[in-house]
Amino acid sequence: MNKSKIFGVFDQEEKLVSSIRSIKAKGISISDVVSPYPVHEVFEELNLKTRIPVAAFLYGIFGLLTTFGFLYWTSVVNYPLVFGGKPQNTLSFVIIIFVMVINVTVAFTLITFFLIEKKGPGAKPSVEYPGISDNRYLIVIDITPETDVKALNKLLMDTGAVEITEQ
Partner 1 sequence: MEKKFVFTPKLRYITYALMVVGIIAIAIAFSMDPTRGWVNLLLNNFYFLSIAIGASFFLALQYITQSGWSSAFKRIPESLSMYIPIAAVFMVLLIFGMNSLYSWIQPERYHFDEHELHLLEHKSPYLNVTFFIVRLVLYFAVWIFMTQMLRRFSLKEDMEGGVAWFAKSEIYSKVYIFTLALTFSLASFDWLMTLEPTWYSTIYSLKNFISAFYHGSAVIVLVVLIMHTRGYFQFITDAHWQDFSKYVFILSIIWAYFWFSQYLLIWYANIPEETTYYVKRLSGSWEVNFYVNLVLNWLVPFLVLLPNYFARKKFILAGVIIFVMIGHYTDLFEQVIPGTLGEYRIGLVEIGTFMGFAGLFLYIFMRTLSRASLIPENHPLLEESLHHTGH
Provide, rounded to whole angstroms, the least separation between the CB of residue 89 and partner 1: 11
Nearer Cβ to partner 1 (27/53): 53
Which of 4/90 has CB closer to partner 1? 90
Binding-site ranges for partner 1 (CB under 8 A): 40-41, 53, 57, 84-86, 90-92, 94-95
* Minimum gap (Å) between residue 34 Cβ and partner 1: 19
CB of 92 to partner 1, least distance (A): 5
Q: Which residues are CB-neighbours of 157 under 8 A, at least 6 positions away?
A: 164
Judged by CB, which is closer to partner 1: 40, or 150?
A: 40
Q: Which of 90, 59, 98 minimizes the C-alpha distance to 72?
A: 90
C-beta of 75: minimal distance to partner 1 in Å? Answer: 13
Of the two residues 38 and 121, which places its CB atom closer to partner 1 in the complex?
38
* Sequence-ordered list of residues with C-beta below 8 angstroms from that of 104, at least 6 positions apart, any chain: 59, 60, 62, 63, 66, 67
